[in-house]
Every structure is written in structure tokens, then in C-alpha cells.
Structure 1
Amino acid sequence: MDLTQSGRSLDLAARLQAFMAEHIYPNERRYYLEAERLGPWAVYPVVEELKPVARAAGLWNLFLPASDSDGGLTNLEYAPLCEIMGRSLFAPEVFNCAAPDTGNMETLLRYGTEAQRETWLAPLLAGEARSAFAMTEPDVASSDATNISASIVRDGESYVIDGRKWYTTGATDPRCRIIILMGKSDPGSPDAHRRQSMILVPRDAPGVRVVRALPVLGFYGVPDRAAEVVFDHVRVPAANMLLGEGRGFEIAQGRLGPGRIHHCMRLIGLTERVLERMCRRAELRRPFGAPLSEQSVTLERIAEARIGIEQARLLTLKAAWMMDTKGNKAARQEIAMIKVAAPLMAQKVVDWAIQVFGGGGTNNDHLLAAALATARLLRLADGPDEVHRNQIARLEIRRHGATDPRITGGGAAVLDLAESERMGREGLWPPPAA
């Protein structure tokens, strides 16, 4: 396994770090104030001001995959760049590398027709529009995506869509032009994973109603523009179907694998920044006559945070390398592992940092409250921990079932009676007490 970064990735990383120092960190407080005062239905001016600066600097659409675009980056090359951008919650959008747009753009790039790409992908790549992704539903356990019940019904040269979605990321953004919706197009199919399809729904189509913005642990618009959306007899052209009827799960797997890598690397970057702040704060605060940095509990937590971040980063880079060299399917266990490990690690580290900061850590003066909301959210987004753990365990059982225990020494069979008696006769068991 070779995790060496290419020269191009190293160059982009240095340029990103310089841009973050000059433009992102100094504007964070302005961003949070705009988000709080303008709310989740508005465009935040600071983001729009910085986008052309990032584009002029050549730091634009860095997420584009090498497998699907000329000049794109591999997952391994992009991972550290994603980590740098993730140090600030508003940075990814400045570089046109924010969710859900990245996943939606990759979906259109990989599965869209030429006409779909021209209509919807081009303005997204240019940063002229934003998008939303509608999968989760309030009325069913959406962690099992076969439960998704929004209906997609063919009617002549159109499809008619009915359903209620929530946590539809990006739907309140006034620049949102297109929603990728997952729904049930063939409820009677004997194959439960061929009942679903994904379809392109214009945000301004009649019958699309954004009911409300949803807070994420009290935050509106930051860290996410979550929304509840109703689709009431929405009619779209048949040409808006992605890839074909019954291909929704196939698209979801192609979309969510890279997206999970991106989420985890951004979260690792955010946690690195939190740990740095925690260390600086521990040096400054002097309760009971000594700095917090001399207390063993603080030192232990800082050490555990360092260990956890390194473990999560290495596992994420391994997953990225496997996706590049062996394919997303072969890397699915590693992808599931990072999706469990990184948010749990981040949530713990941010919680420790809040303890060091005291009461100030619970407001957003130090960005910790938004960081905690982000980490906790990502234990649910793109599949909850429990689903990923089940997949990890099933793949592990299957892997060992395919090996010969005589070679690996991993047998778990109980000795049969004849073998036990033989070993007793040969004196391999201790003799019975007199």
C-alpha cells in the first residue's frame, strides 16, 4: 500500500493552506454572523465574494475524480485537500467542493446523459447554481433504503412524483435549481433493490414545496441547509430519469462511496483544528493556580485525541487507496469502517475540547458547538453507525468463511468425542484427581 502524495497534490495542498490563512479563517466570524442573521433561505455574501477569488487561484472543483474527468484527482490525491478544506465549515463551498453538490455533480458526470449534463451539470460546475439530494423520509426508517416510499410513476412521456422528504440538504438555498430524488418506481419487483430509481426534479417544478428549514442541533444553515420538502403530483419529463428505472441503488452506491471519504477527511481536518485550539486553550487557562496543560486528565485527552486522529486518517487514506486501486466495491468494508470511526472520534475530541474551554465552548465564539453538531450529524448522514457496523461484520464473517482454518489456525469447531478420548489416552489432558 503506497500512500505517498503526488507532486500535484502536495502543490495544491500548499496553495490551499495559504488561501485558508489569507481568506477563510479571517472571514469565519462574518460567515457565522451572516448565517445567523440572514437565515437558511438566503445567500451569504461572504461566500459569493470569495468564490471568484478561489476560482482565479485555480482552487476550483478539486473534487472531480480522475476516473470520470480529464485532469481530475484520485481519491488518495484529493483526501488531504479535503482535510484542509474541512478545517472550516464554510470553506468547501468557496472552492465549489461542498456537499451535496459534489455528490450530485459526480452522479451527473457518471450517470447522466449528455443533455442532463449540459442542462444541470454545467451550471453546478461553474458555481452558478446549487443542488439538493432528497433521499431520507420522515415516515419510514430510511436507514433501510428499501423502505423509501416516495412514488415515481410513469405517465406517458412523463414521470409523476409524490412523497415527503426531509433532511433534503440544500433545498432552502435560493440558488438551488435541481433536486436528485430517490423514490420507488417498481414496488412490485421481486428484487427489493430494483424497486428504486433516481430522478432529476427541477426545484421550481409545480408541486415542489419546501415546507421548512430544519435545524441540526439548533443550527439553521450551518453546518447544513437541511429541509423538509413535499412533492405533490410533480410531473417531470421521462428524460429526467437517471440511468434507467430500477437503478437507484446502483447510483447510490456509486455516489455515496466517495462522499463518505469526503465527509471523513473534512471531519479529520475539523478535528485537527479543534485539537490545536484545545492545546492553546489548555496553556492559557489556569484554574487553581496551574495551567490546564499540566493536569493529567487534560494531557491524557490530548494524547488520546492525537492517537484517534492519526488512526482515522490512516484508515481513511487506506480506503481512498483501495478505491483507486481495487474499486469501490472491494473497498466497501474500509469505507464503512471510516464512516463509523471518524465521526465517533471527532465527537469525542470536540467534547473534550468543550470541557477545556468551559462555558465558552458551548456557544459558538470558538466554533466548537458547530463542530460538535457536525460530528454528531455525520454519525447519521450517509447511513447510521449501526448499518455500517452490520455491513463490516457480515463482510468479516464472509471473509473468514472463505479461508481454510487449517492454514490460518482460525478454526472454531468443538472437538468431537473421539478426539477428546484420544487425547486423554495419550496423556494430553491432566489426569483426573485421585
Structure 2
Amino acid sequence: MNAASIDLVARTRAFVRDVVIPAEPAWGETLREDALAALRAAARDAGVYAPHAPVEYGGLGLALPEWSPVFQEAGYSPIGPAALNCMAPDEGNMRLLEVVAGREQKERYLRPLVQGGIRSAFAMTEPHPGAGSDPEALATTARRVDGGWVIDGEKRFISGAEGGAFAIVMARTEATGEFGAGATMFLTPLDATGVRVGPGIGTIEAAIAGGHPHVVFDGVFVPDADVLGQPGEGFRYAQVRLGPARLTHCMRWLGLARRAHDIALDRAANRQLFGARLGDLGLAQALIAESVIDLETTDALIDKAARVLEADPRAGAALSSVAKVHASEAVYRVIDRAVQLCGGDGVSSGLPLIQYLNEVRPFRIYDGSSETHRWAIARRAMRARDREVAAGEPRRDRVDPGASR
């Protein structure tokens, strides 16, 4: 990291600890909009607002390989990413708009999103048997009409849609003119005629503003000017968003796991049991050591995936899948151990640990379940080895019948 990035990490750390943590809502409450606006104003004044977003639209323009330390510091508080405007789904949509959107689309959608005047959603997941872990099952359609397209379909679990200004909608489109059949992305205001948001879906976590409701598109007209990129290229564009978005989830939740670990370390230092500090007992030390290992391996894997993603998006997307599985399970283990080390207080409202556990548990499902990613990881490993063998690499499982055993 260069000196400017190191300074940004330090300032973000100080801002979250000195300004954000004292503003955290009480147990069972959510952050009010006016409180969020005040935190974002303070983040701008502190020079830590929207670290990932383009400078020309109001962000700090930090390069992807340098995001992780900053996002981890933001994630040290559950409301830190929202205060810095680097929370999902807006952060992922900013990245997608930065890379794919045209100039007028950036002015209409990206600029107000970065500046915090609006929220957004990414509408791909659908009720069964539609798109979920398998994007190819996409059932929502968009048909060509004069001057634009008409979208029909139902989405579910659309994070941020309640109160959101617009959604990036994935819909299946047929071949038309010079464009082939496939999926197309549409920039669709959520107050457009034919859009119905709801019913909501209750979940155990609360950090993402706007809930996870159903969103119905019933004959929704979208003009050609609001097609994101080229028709038929939606699945390709989705990779622009999904790889970095997986990693930023890992970064934010790793920050929260560090907060939980600090709580556990403080308890281990202060709690007296059986004539010794809790932290001096072997069983407690084993839990602490395992958490340090999980934190450090997760940090290293995120860092490598971010660097590869910047240099080679295809290879980076594959590695981000590995990082997502590892991080989603490691951060849960760290927080769960912190709960255990804190005993009865760990499961009470006196400490925030059980709230943190609720926040990170869905990550093993969101952005692709661990099982789906493992299936894809194994397939990629098999294909890669087959290519090596086809290029002349010998198989290593050959048995020599004459070899002694």
C-alpha cells in the first residue's frame, strides 16, 4: 500500500471508533435516516466517505487491491459501511455502473448513488424455479417494443428494494437485430408504472437497509436509454459486479469478526476463573488461537483474490469464490468462539455478539451458497487439471505394477 492508502486506513479506523461506534443504535433498533445522514456528512468531513467510488462522482477512487484494509475498518461497526456508503447492494452497483454504464446513465444513477441521495437494488434472484444459485434459470423476460423494452416477471430477496430509487434488473431477452439472445440488464426506477415492491421477507440480519422483498414487474416499460450496456450481455456484466461484491462482503464481515475477537480478548483478560485469568487457561487459549488463524488466513486470501481480480478478472472471479466460502465460514467461527468465551453475556443483550452472529450467518447463503461455490470450485479444479494433462503433463495417479509396496 502507498502512503495515501495507509493514511486512509488510519483515518477510517479512527473515524469508526470515535464517531461511528458511539452512534450505533441500541439492541433491537435500526439506524435512523437522519442519524445516517449525519454520519455520512461527518465521513465526508473526515475524508473517508465512499473510498471505492470514482473521484469524479464524489468518491476517493481507491484501487480494488487496496480496498480490504479500509473496508475491514469500516466493518468494525455494523453501521460503518453504511456511514461510509460502501455497503451492499449500493457498493456493488456503483462498481457495475462505473464499468458498464454510459455517461448519461452515470450522471443519472451513479452520481446520486455515490453522493448518498438515493439507494439501489440488484434484481436477479427469483422465486423457485427461477434464477437463484443457477442464473441460467432466469425466468423474468423483457420483450422488444418501439423505443424500448417491456419487463415481466417476479424477483425475490431483492436487497435494498424497500425505499430504493432504482434497481438493476436482469431479464431474459430474445435475439434482436445485431444482438444475440441471452440476459440483459435494465436500469429501472422502482416507482415506475408496473413495479410492485413487496411483500417483505423477514431475515435474521438487519445491516442492509431496504430489506429483502419480492419485486414484481408487470408490463414495465424501460426505454432504450436505460439498457445497461448491450442487450444479451447481462451474464457477462454480472461477473463485473459479482466478483468484487463477494470480496467486499468478506472484507466488511472480517472487520466485524475482528471486533468480536477484540471483545473476546478483553473478556479473557478480565475474567477470573479457577484462580487464573480466562486467557491463561488452555481451553480458552485454543479458542483464541483458532480465531487468530481464521482471521489471518481470511485476510490473506482476500488480499490475494483482490490482486488477481484486478489483473485478471476471470481468474480473480474464480478465486473470489474460494475467498467467499472460506470467509463466510471463518468469520462465523470467530464470532461464535467469541460468544463461547463470553459465556452467558455472549448470548445476552449486554454484548453485541449474538447480533453479530445473526449478521454473518446468512453470508454462507447470500451471493451463492457455500455448497454451490464448492461445486463450482471443484469443477474448475478438474477442468484445469485436464488442460494440464492435455498439454503434456503426466497423470500422477499411475500405478507401477512392479513397484514394491
1:122, distance to aligned residue in structure 2 (A): 1.5
Partner of residue 170 from structure 2, selected from 182, 197, 201: 182
The answer for the alignment partner of 2:7 in structure 1 is 11
- State the alpha-carbon separation in 2 of the partners of residues 61 and 305 from structure 1: 30
- Pick closer, same or farther for the CA change 1:305–1:163 going to 2, 3 Å: same
Q: Give the conservation status (yes or no) of the 8 Å contact 1:275–1:349.
A: yes
Quick one: which amino acid aligns to residue 187 of structure 2?
Answer: L
Which residue, out of 190, 198, 206, partners 2:193?
A: 206
Structure 1 residue 160 corresponds to structure 2 residue 145: no
Structure 2 contact 87–208 (Cα < 8 Å) conserved: no
Counterpart residue type for residue 342 of structure 1: A
Q: Which runs of 5+ in 2 are unaligned?
A: none
Identity %: 34
Instruction: Pick closer, same or farther for the CA change 1:234–1:404 going to 2, 3 Å.
Output: closer
**Any conservation in 2 of the 1:64–1:72 contact (CA below 8 Å)?**
yes
CA distance in 2, matches of 1:122, 1:267: 26
Secondary structure of 2:161's aligned partner: coil
Residue 97 of structure 2: which of 108, 126, 130 is its match?
108
In the alignment, does 2:304 pair up with 1:318? yes
Name the TM-score, length of structure 2 as normaliser.
0.90
Give yes or no for the alignment of 1:340 onto 2:325: yes
More deviation, 238-247/350-359:
350-359
**Which amino acid counterpart does residue 322 of structure 1 have in structure 2?**
V
Matches within 5 A, 1:238-387: 238-286=224-272, 290-324=276-310, 326-387=311-372
Paired AA for residue 29 in structure 1: P
For residues 209 and 293 of structure 2, the distance between their equivalents in structure 1, rounded to whole angstroms, comes to: 26
TM-score normalized by the length of structure 1: 0.85
Q: Is 1:133 aligned with 2:122?
A: yes
What is the count of residue pairs matched by the alignment?
Answer: 401
Superposition deviation, residue 367 in structure 1: 2.0
1:404 offset after TM fit, Å?
5.3
Distance 1:408 1:116 in 2: 49
Residue aligned with 2:30, SS: helix
- Structure 2 residue aligned with 1:230: 216
Partner Cα separation in structure 1 for residue 203 and residue 266 of structure 2: 28
CA contact (8 A) 1:161 1:231 kept: yes
Which is greater in Rg? 1
Give the Cα–Cα distance (whole angstroms) in 2 for the partners of residues 110 and 241 of structure 1. Answer: 14
Give the deviation of 1:224 after TM superposition.
7.0
Q: More displaced, 100-109 or 350-359?
A: 350-359
CA distance in structure 2 between the partners assigned to 1:378 and 1:316 by the alignment: 15
CA RMSD, aligned part only?
A: 2.8
CA distance 1:331–1:245, change in 2 (3 Å): same
Deviation, structure 1 residue 281: 1.8
In 2, Cα distance between equivalents of 1:62 and 1:404: 44
Between the aligned partners of 2:349 and 2:182, the Cα distance in structure 1 is 44
| Secondary structure of 2:214's aligned partner | strand
Tell me, in whole angstroms, the C-alpha distance in 2 between the residues paired with 1:119 and 1:340: 35
